[in-house]
Amino acid sequence: MRTNRLLTALVVLATACGFSLTTAAPALAAGCYATSCDGRDPQAMGCAGDAITKDSFSWDGTYFELRLSYNCHAVWARSSNSAYPCYGGFVGVFAYRDRGLTQYVGGQSEQQACYSTTWTRMESYSYWIHFCYRDYYRGIDYCRGPF
């Protein structure tokens, strides 16, 4: 009887302190890793959930971000435009990596949608990443990096 009261007291104490006897839910698994992410949508593959903004800048009312997922070992660019003017340029990400005995540059770009958010497909990386905005209409080519 005394053992039951002691056990009940311990359970009440653990509950009051915020301890749980259940295990935590596992982290969401990404649908790709490194080169298997190349050319894939970060939202669809589950890579956007853990992504961080590695770099960002604004240009004529558009906000550009270099997004990085450590779980997927991949990067992509995202742009958000909610202001006038909107020129519909291209946002892109370029990654440098080894492929066999040679270095390889992979890149993804997407035309910026006016008054919405656009993102490129992903690219895996080994070394450097460049993050660019290109507006062919006005002759602007602006890149940041390497990161």
In 11-73 the beta strands, taken as DSSP E runs, fall at 52-59, 62-69
Fold of 32-144: Immunoglobulin-like (2.60.40)
Q: Which two tokens stand for residue 77?
A: 């660019």
| pTM for this model (two decimals) | 0.73
Domain residue limits, the chain: 32-144
Per-residue confidence in pLDDT tens, the chain, 147 aa: 554 454 444 444 444 444 444 433 344 578 999 999 999 999 999 999 999 999 999 887 788 999 999 999 999 999 998 776 677 788 888 887 766 656 667 788 888 878 889 999 999 988 788 888 888 777 888 888 888
Ordered alpha helix ranges (H), the chain: 2-16
d(CA 142, CA 31): 32
d(CA 108, CA 134): 13
